[in-house]
């Protein structure tokens, strides 16, 4: 079940830019772990995107995992997340936060606001 935020504009011209992206994963299953793959693509010029992060981790049953990724200096980014489990009881959200640790409200994505994609994109 891969999801994407789509391309997010990350400039101060339209509000507050994010310096970090926070990925929250909640495994609601009380018996089975969930495996997560996250890919973050970023761009310093809005033309060329590069793979900023690729990370995989497991979230134990009935647990949370919160990961932070540094994104400052990029004018655009996209977060893609794939969940692997025998259960579908995992929730995800993505938030941008500024240099002071405040939420950037324009860069907030609950799972139901993210786009379902058929597969994670290959690394550029």
Domain 2-116 is found in CATH 2.60.120: yes
Report d(CA 52, CA 39) in Å as an integer. Answer: 8
Domain coordinates in residue numbering, the chain: 2-116
Q: What is the pTM of this model?
A: 0.93
Q: What is the pLDDT along the chain (124 residues), one digit of tens a residue?
A: 799 999 999 987 656 799 999 999 999 999 999 999 999 999 999 889 999 999 999 999 999 999 999 999 999 999 999 998 776 789 999 999 999 999 998 899 999 999 999 999 998 7
């Amino acid at each position: 079940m891969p999801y994407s935020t789509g391309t997010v504009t990350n400039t101060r011209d339209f509000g507050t830019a994010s310096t970090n992206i926070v990925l929250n994963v909640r495994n609601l299953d009380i018996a089975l772990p969930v495996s997560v793959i996250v890919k973050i693509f970023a761009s310093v010029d809005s033309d060329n995107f590069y793979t900023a992060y690729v990370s995989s981790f497991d979230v134990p049953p009935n647990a949370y995992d919160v990961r932070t990724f540094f994104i400052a200096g990029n004018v655009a980014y996209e977060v893609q997340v794939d969940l692997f489990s025998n259960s579908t009881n995992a929730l995800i959200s993505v938030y941008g936060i500024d240099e002071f640790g405040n939420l950037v409200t324009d860069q907030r994505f609950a799972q139901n606001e993210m786009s379902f994609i058929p597969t994670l994109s290959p690394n550029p």
